[in-house]
Amino acid sequence: MTSRFEENGVTSHLKTMTWQNRNKAIIEGRYCAQDVIFNRAHHLAAGKYKLNVDAAFIPETGVGGIGAVVRNDKGEVMAAMALPLASATSSKHAEIMAFLFGMKFARDAGCSSILIESDSQGVVNDVKKDEEESWASDGHLIGDIKRSLQHFEDVIISYSPRGVNQVAHFLAKHALNCNTIVTWIEEVPFWLESIINDDMVVSS
């Protein structure tokens, strides 16, 4: 079953939601004008959400797929997304797009305090870096990610090995066969249930 996001777009309370930007953040021990804290913590505090993102990429065609899943502090799936990419220039480009669109998906779902996990170490490292010259050809997208991070009250960004990122991975694979975005709210397709259960066991 698809979600109300597909039927009505982002609901009115999400459209009118304002986001508070704080003045301080800690990025690997340094302060800057973002409310973002980067570390390797995986356990969620009460009221915090976790977003896992992943991408699939077919080099021969340049087609990609994005998978994202949002869970609450109890590990329950609150929202999931499979989004096809008509074109991507590389696997890293697809992973960056997964990070960016997954983050926007979580924000539209009402998450203000969130842990974001990606199994792309390169993307996680680029998002953590201050130096724009280190962002290479995808720098403008990394910049978009950094600006979008300011819309959250607080964010933790962490690298997550593929073994504990299976749900997002399978959603990204599923997106390769989709013609448009597919979302689920507080429910998941039957074919994903066992993967979610296995993922929770591995993560615990």
pTM assigned to the model: 0.76
- Distance spanning both ends of the chain, measured CA to CA: 28
Q: What is the pLDDT of residues 111-122, one digit of tens each?
A: 999 999 999 999
CA distance 184 to 189: 8
Q: Where are the domains of the chain?
A: 52-200
Largest CA distance in the chain: 45
Category of 92 on φ-ψ map: left (φ > 0), alpha (ψ -120 to 50) or beta: alpha
pLDDT for 131 equals: 64
The architecture of the domain spanning 52-200 is 2-Layer Sandwich (3.30)
- Output 157 or 87, whichever has higher pLDDT: 157
**Statement: residue 11 has pLDDT above 50:** no
